[in-house]
A = this chain, B = another copy of it.
Amino acid sequence: MGLVSTPDQPWLSETQQRVWRQWLAANAELSTAVGRQLSQDNGISSPDFQVLVRLSEEPGRRLRIVELARGMQWERSRLSHHLTRMEKRGLVLRRDCPQDGRGQFAELTDQGGHTVEQAAPGHVELVRSVLFDHLPEADLEVLDRITATLVERVRRSDFGEGDAKEPGA
């Protein structure tokens, strides 16, 4: 973003600037399209789907809410409100974990499991059709490297989550 250059600040090259804007546009528009597809075809939102997928992959189909929040990059209070709404729709349950006092679990219900199974194929079809179909193998490898490096650098940056800030595990 931004064209405001200053004399003592190296600015982005023309190509870098174009790529950065394309990156932002791609994400904004892809995120909108993904949400629209899930909503129209399955009556769920993109965050609903993220929660359902995460839980469906866990042993026992449940996960500590604090870990779920971290994985989604959400504030715990925001996730808590979201889970309340999903619970009312029968997609998840919240369970206390009294034996170790380390807070609640979110658990997938049978209905939640059914919903994610119904929703996954259409979602995957969209992701494939816009991103992976016709993407040459060599480009996929480059994108693999770029995204992995980016995640790592953001985490290590002054403004990233940083491993040091994560509770011991």
Q: CA–CA, A147 to B131, complex, Å?
A: 9
A96 on the B face (CB < 8 A): no
Given the known interface contacts A116-B4, A159-B36, the answer about A131 and B143 at a Cβ–Cβ threshold of 8 Å is no
Tell me if B26 and A154 are in contact (CB < 8 A): yes
Contacts of A127 in B (CB 8 A): 12, 20
Tell me if A150 and B126 are in contact (CB < 8 A): no
The range of chain A's interface size is: 35 or more
Encoded as 1 (CB less than 8 Å from any B CB) or 0, chain A from 1 to 33 comes to 111111001111001101110110111111011
Tell me if A157 and B144 are in contact (CB < 8 A): no
> Which of A4, A32, A34, A117 counts the most B-chain CB atoms under 10 A from its CB?
A4
Copies of this chain present:
2
A110 on the B face (CB < 8 A): no
Chain A contact surface mostly: helix
> Which of A2, A128, A146, A160 counts the most B-chain CB atoms under 10 A from its CB?
A2
Given the known interface contacts A36-B159, A140-B16, the answer about A4 and B56 at a Cβ–Cβ threshold of 8 Å is yes
CB neighbors of B among A109-128 (8 A): 116-117, 120-121, 123-128
Tell me if B22 and A132 are in contact (CB < 8 A): no
Minimum CB–CB distance from A92 to chain B (whole Å) comes to 16
A145 on the B face (CB < 8 A): yes
